[in-house]
Amino acid sequence: MDLKELTRAEEQLMQVLWQLKKAYVKDIIDLLPEPKPAYNTVSTFIRILETKGFVGHTAFGKSHEYYPLVSKDEYQGFAADKLLNGYFDNSVKRMFSFFVQKEKIDMKEADEILKLIEKLKDK
């Protein structure tokens, strides 16, 4: 499947849907931060996500229970590739350096990353 980039609002709804696994619009709204968006707004965005192939539904009369068709892991991979290719010339080293310079990585995280690298070397 060819993934499309989500808007911030769409991604926020997907985060909730990934957390809930399946939900009605009212369930999604319950987990959104204040100020809560209108029911019709969330319903419209969910239908857009369905059109984009991210969400499916099961109908129960007039109610629809929605569920993700794209996993969080799939979208994370897509977003990471987009970030890496779009901003760091496909260089993990440049991306890592950027996060270190911006102090987004602390020493504990850096140590964990180095341990992952050592595991890769051992394979």
Q: What span, in angstroms and rounded, lies between the C-alpha atoms of 119 and 14?
A: 32
Tokens of 96: 């890592």
Q: How far is CA 117 from the centre of its chain?
A: 25
Query: Is residue 35 reached through a cis peptide bond, with omega within 30 degrees of 0 on the bond before it?
Result: yes
Q: How many CA atoms lie within 13 A of 13 on its CB side?
A: 27
Give the structural domain span for 45: 8-68
Q: How far is CA 41 from the centre of its chain?
A: 20
Contacts of 85 (CB under 8 A, 6+ apart): none
* Residue-level pLDDT, tens digit, the chain, 123 residues: 678 899 999 999 999 999 999 999 999 999 999 999 999 999 999 999 999 999 999 999 999 999 999 999 999 989 888 888 888 898 888 888 888 888 778 878 888 888 888 888 887
Which backbone phi and psi does 68 adopt, to 5 degrees?
-70, 140
- Asked if 14 and 64 sit in the same domain, the reply is yes
Q: Looking at the 3D structure of the chain, how many domains does it have?
A: 2
Residue 81: inside a domain:
no
CATH of the domain at 14: 1.10.10.10
